[in-house]
Amino acid sequence: MEMEKLAFLDEKIIGAILEKLREERNLKIISFSELYRLLNEFENRLVQSFIKLNPRDFGFNGKFIGVGAIPKNLIRINGHFLPKQVFLVFWEMNRILEDDIGKRLAIFSGYRSPAYQSIVFLRYLKDNKFDLLRTVKGVAFPGYSEHGDAKNQAIDFCAMGGDSSNIGPANFEKTIEYKWLTQNASKYGFYLSYPEGNRDGIMFEPWHWRLKG
Ligand SMILES: [Zn+2]
């Protein structure tokens, strides 16, 4: 696969899309039809050619989850969304974690619609200077993200009061919250779905916990 021939890597159009969506609210639960209404013809064409790519051509081996309907039972929590049944398990686990170690987990990323996942991917692609292979190791293609799977939802955790700087592997992995999760999360059905050396081709993500469906 010759990267330079992939039309979707048009840096100017990607920049324009991201700029246009910068001020949009509730992007995390946007549908493809809502997204297409916000973009012009060229921008839409780029998104559509992107979502037709096969992630396996780029070293991503995760399962296809689907680009279906956005769940209706989403609970909003500090700007993030979780399906109600997932929220309840998370809330209970966090209460026990607080009883045990006097800390609380915050959510860095919860449910993300497949259309939002394509925006997230384009953001990372730009941040990675349009290095597609590097981007694929850190973020799933739309339809392949465990954040878009309400039945088997993934949540990215961070330490309370933290920001993006402490969810990285070098940091969240060292927190007492992470240690507690490795010892207790399975009691609630949460598991680390991208452990070290995982087969999906995704880097080790100590902050990314998935709830069994
Ligand atoms: Zn994640």
**What ranges do the domains of the chain cover?**
3-211
Architecture of domain 3-211 in this structure = 2-Layer Sandwich (3.30)
Q: Can you point out the beta strands (E) in 23-86?
A: 74-77, 80-83
Check residue 162 and give its pLDDT: 58
* Residue of 47, 59, 51 lying closest to 132 (CA atoms): 59
pLDDT at 60: 86
pLDDT digits (tens, 9 = 90+) for 197-209: 988 888 899 999 9
Residues in the chain with pLDDT < 70?
1-5, 7, 161-170
> What's the CA-to-centroid distance between 192 and ligand 1, angstroms?
10
Residue 71 Cα to ligand 1 middle (Å): 18
**What per-residue confidence (pLDDT) applies to 1?**
52
> pLDDT at position 164, please?
55
The pLDDT value recorded for residue 168 is: 58
Question: What is the whole-number distance in angstroms between the Cα of residue 147 and the centre of ligand 1?
Answer: 6
Give residue 138's pLDDT. 87
This prediction has a pTM of 0.90
C-alpha to C-alpha distance for 68 and 47, rounded to whole angstroms: 17
